[in-house]
Chains A and B, each alone.
Chain A
Amino acid sequence: MPNLKPLVTLLHLSLTGWAIPAQALEMGGLEFTGSGFLTLAAGKIISGSNHDPGHGKGYDGPSITVDYANNSTYEQGNGWDLAPNSKLGLQGTARLNERFALTGQAVARGAHKGKINLEWLYADIKLGDETALQVGRKRLPLFYYSETQDVGLTYPWAHLPQGLYGWEIVNYNGANLMWRDQWHNWSAQINLFTGSETREDNPFWEYYNGKNTRTDSRWPGIYGMELSLSKDWLDSRLVYITSGIQNKAVSNGATTFQPSPTPRQHLYGLAVNADHENWVWRSELYYIDRREADEEDTGYMFGLGYRWGAWLPMLTYTRYNQYLRAPTYAPNNAERYANLALSLRWDLTHDQALKLQIERWLDHSLPGYRSSTPFAGANLVTLSYDTVF
């Protein structure tokens, strides 16, 4: 019989613990704390179609990608599939004193066959009561939930709306300065950050170029700022990020990043979220100016839900539109899609949730783009379990 004691202990901690982090240990003047998160998600493509059934790029039938950054893709041929969106993350912090701490977070995900990635590793230096300088590797705060994209318990859906959260770079190595303030009864948090990121064999590009291809991505010279404003039941966020964008199609024989010099992109984002009495509202929109690369992108998401005790049904619509221009691109060519999701979250306890989500992914790409993607739309059902411990 397998030894279930560690699992029982873990579940007991999860069921009874209130505080995060769950574990603390003091040794040699250092305080160590540990915590983690788990998502077990099973999904199945229940129907769909292909533009070109013979042009599958390694995908088994109609598919839906729920996390572009990790190419977490459900394929019809795989039936019920646990791999794409299941993940386990562990986070540890070593605190030297009130002012200095070192934090690391590693995540193993089914989409990468359990391979462990270091998503966070940073030093936190408190400069004042409300000011912190953080240096190291972090999630790039592109959108409202970007930094907790792996922690399913923090959002109402089985996965984040992929029309917003689907980008090739989601981390950066650098530094950020963060401080809080109170402005006329509004709680404000400002975050300034800078850094760069190079991602070898980026899973994002396997969606577009095929499963067995390799493309490296680079966003050099990242500069950004975000402003979060909260009051009572309202939570809002403004973000601006600029960076270079380059790729290296290694499978095609490329040995240097192109284009060179790198064009710059400018991302502008706004999120307005509300939890007023039993009503839940989530909305987010962005515009990415990549005109130096003859490209622009827009995306938006609206979600409305109503909370009945531990139950939260929610309807969410997401839209992504790409605009491509000459001379880089041929006319009538752009990627566009929409997603309509009906989700139901059930909070089993304060730190465990079950979610059921049914969604319809509709391809609205222009005719010139369709040869680039094998998918023409699909319907997906997902059942997931999320916890933090």
Chain B
Amino acid sequence: MFVLSQIRYRCHSGMALVFFCLNMAAHAEIVVIAHESSPLDSLNKSQVADIYLGRTTHLPGIGPVIPLDTSNDPNLRDDFYRRVTGKNSAQIKAHWARMYFTGRGSQPKEVEGPRELKSLITTHKNMIGYMPKIEADSDLKVLYAQP
């Protein structure tokens, strides 16, 4: 009986830890970034959503803006889209299927992770990406912060 109680306690503790971690992950601040030399200074939530949904590909006075997606962290990607567009991953995929199969747009290019993202936006001043705020270096410009 004692052993069983211990196991239950450990399970409950483990589950609490998992939920705590999930909660932390879900509430980590996500930032939309560009290189510090980018002509972009800031974006609002609607602009970020429009760019990542392919509703616009350029901004007045700025020119083309190319969004980048992340492929190595589906949780970060899903969290980003849910917060910015209000859509879950299935809704986003349905949206892009509609855009792609009608010749109206293509999904953002995927990058492996923060290293490739930083490398690309350093060489392409009109590219933007997203990452947890904690990973954004000082040579990156934060265009939008999603709490």
Contact = CB atoms under 8 A, between A and B. Distances in A.
10 contacts: A18-B69, A20-B106, A138-B103, A148-B97, A180-B57, A231-B46, A232-B86, A347-B88, A350-B88, A350-B90
Nearest to A388: B97
B113 interface: no
A234 to B, nearest CB: 11
A129 B58 contact: yes
A350 B91 CA distance: 8
Q: Is the interface of A mostly helix, strand, loop or mixed?
A: strand
A103 B103 contact: yes
Interface string A67-108: 000000000000000000000010100000000000101000
A37 interface: yes
Top 4 A-B pairs ranked by shortest CB distance? A347-B90, A187-B55, A350-B89, A147-B102
Contact of A134 (B56, B88, B103): B103
Nearest to A36: B101
A120 B104 CA distance: 13
A374 to B, nearest CB: 35
B100 interface: yes
B101 A148 contact: yes
A20 B107 contact: yes
Given A18-B77, A122-B103, A350-B92, A277 B97 contact: no
Contact of A180 (B56, B60, B96): B56
B101 A105 contact: yes
B64 A129 contact: yes
Interface residue range, chain B: 35 or more
B102 A349 contact: no
A230 B47 CA distance: 12
Interface in A113-158: 120, 122, 124, 129-130, 132, 134, 138-139, 147-148, 151, 153-155
Contacts of A21: 100, 106
A151 B98 contact: yes
Contact of B97 (A138, A153, A187, A230): A153
A214 to B, nearest CB: 30
A178 B96 contact: no
Contacts of B89: 350
B116 interface: no
Contact of B90 (A134, A185, A310): A310
A130 B97 contact: no
Interface of A: 18-21, 35, 37, 89, 91, 103, 105, 120, 122, 124, 129-130, 132, 134, 138-139, 147-148, 151, 153-155, 178, 180, 182, 185, 187, 189, 230-233, 275-277, 310, 347, 349-351, 353, 388
Contacts of B90: 310, 347, 349-351, 353
Contacts of B74: 18
Contacts of A153: 93-94, 97
A314 to B, nearest CB: 14
A154 B107 CA distance: 15
- Most A CB atoms within 10 A — which of B86, B97, B109? B97
Contact of B86 (A91, A103, A182, A233): A233
A105 B100 CA distance: 12
B139 interface: no
B49 interface: yes
Contact of B107 (A19, A89, A148, A231): A19
Contacts of B103: 103, 120, 122, 124, 132, 134, 138
